[in-house]
Structure 1
Amino acid sequence: MIGALHAPIARQIQSLYEPLNFPVLITTPRTAEFIKYAANAFLATKYLFINEISQFVRIHRCPCQRGVCSTRNGSPDRRVFSERRSRLRGACFPKDIQALLHIAGNHGKS
């Protein structure tokens, strides 16, 4: 995702990503920022959900937790799946969720 105000700059940045063969979405900086916050908030939701399921699975001794939250290729989503994690990991989770809450608070949402 590229947030840029001017199309020539966006195309120049996009050309840097071409060798990586990643899909690129070009949008405004504000929209790119919001998409990042929303994506991380959704990932945090998945993380918290799967940790609750993992607890349930351990209590009931059901070895299915790796199949519950997997990536497109069927392998466990390492960002989400956890056997014994009690908090979100990664630099972006806490700050992005706080930023999203701040933005929501500024617009009368909580």
Structure 2
Amino acid sequence: MEQNKINGNNNTEVKCCCCGGNVKKTERAEKDKKKLVNRLSRIEGQIRGIKKMIENDAYCNDVLIQSAAVGAAINAFNRELLSNHIHSCVVRDIREGKDEVVDELMVTLQKLIK
């Protein structure tokens, strides 16, 4: 992606190298990025563990319990990211008069609570 900063603060829009469309990006503080990446790395490890359980013919109930743990970990990741999004991106956009961010947030929430 060709990165052309279009608007300030934490959000930027960049031109996609393949289609030329605008793609939103959020710049995060290094500590916040590290925290989110660490959560995803733990989830990735859990998924690999479940895969190995299936390959080793683990008991279904044991696999289901691990799968539920992954679901809980993903939900925790989503809550953290959503909280960061609301406290930074959404608040900033509302203060700048970009009320459409509320509609975008509602669509996201509907997808998260399915």
TM-score bracket, shorter-length normalisation? 0.3 to 0.5
Question: Looking at both structures, which has the greater relative contact order when contacts are Cα pairs under 8 Å and sequence separation is at least 6?
Answer: 1
Q: TM-score, normalised by structure 2?
A: 0.34
Q: TM-score, normalised by structure 1?
A: 0.35
